[in-house]
């Protein structure tokens, strides 16, 4: 298990922004810096000593109708079914790194489910709701934070739906 104490570690600016937002929301868990990158669910899970399913990965699409950012927060164990997402929000296109950074405000690999620069259409994978807690990216490829799926839903206001490819 990774040492979760961050008392003497200065967070990168993007992760500090998330830490400040979490504090404003009254969230009691710290932003944790992983010694190795958490760009993939498997890497983050290995660094945290948890299962891949407990990683709440943020996948961003571009809605074709209005060019809006669409974020799916999914279990790291699941592959997102674009057809299921499109059935919820409309036809989708790919979101490149520039689109994600401009519309969401974070670089790919550290995309946080909160604190976006523009209003984001969001969906939460129903499989996350089965877990006692999950780890989400905190604005930087090495930064994560822990929360319950219920806290994730409350913070984002996103509907909980089936998005997994089965």
C-alpha closest to that of 156 among 116, 108, 103:
116
Instruction: For residue 1, name the pLDDT band (cuts at 50, 70, 90).
Output: very low
pLDDT at 11 over 60: yes
The C-alpha atoms of residue 47 and residue 122 are separated, in whole angstroms, by 27
Instruction: Lowest mean pLDDT of 30-39, 88-97, 107-116, 123-132, name the range.
Output: 30-39
Total-model pTM = 0.92
pLDDT for residue 5 is more than 80: no
**pLDDT category of residue 33 using cuts at 50, 70 and 90:** very high
Q: Which tokens is 64 given?
A: 């074709």
Q: Are the CB atoms for 88 and 164 separated by under 8 Å?
A: no
CA distance 76 to 45: 9
Q: Which one, of 134, 136, 152, 153, lies nearest residue 59 by Cα? A: 136
Which residue bears the tokens 């984001």? 120
Q: Average the pLDDT over each of 6-15, 116-125, 132-141 and give the range with the smallest value.
A: 6-15
User: What values do phi and psi take at 14, rounded to 5?
Assistant: -65, -35
What are the domain boundaries of the chain? 32-161
- CATH architecture type of domain 32-161: Alpha-Beta Complex (3.90)
Band (pLDDT 50/70/90 cuts) for residue 35 is confident
pLDDT at 36 over 90: no
Q: What is the pLDDT of residue 51?
A: 97
């Amino acid at each position: 298990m990774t040492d979760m104490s961050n008392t003497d570690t200065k967070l990168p600016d993007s992760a500090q922004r998330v830490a400040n937002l979490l504090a404003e929301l009254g969230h009691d868990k710290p932003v944790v810096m992983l010694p190795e990158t958490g760009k993939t669910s498997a890497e983050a899970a290995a660094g945290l000593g948890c299962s891949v399913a407990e990683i709440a990965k943020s996948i961003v699409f571009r809605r074709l109708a209005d060019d809006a950012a669409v974020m799916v927060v999914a279990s790291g164990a699941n592959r997102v079914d674009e057809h299921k997402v499109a059935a919820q929000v409309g036809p989708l296109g790919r979101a490149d790194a520039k689109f994600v950074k401009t519309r969401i405000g974070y670089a790919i690999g550290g995309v946080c489910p909160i604190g976006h620069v523009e209003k984001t259409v969001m969906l939460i994978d129903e499989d996350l709701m089965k877990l006692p807690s999950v780890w989400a990216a905190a604005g930087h490829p090495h930064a994560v934070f822990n929360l319950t799926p219920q806290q994730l839903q409350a913070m984002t206001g996103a509907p909980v739906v089936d998005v997994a490819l089965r």
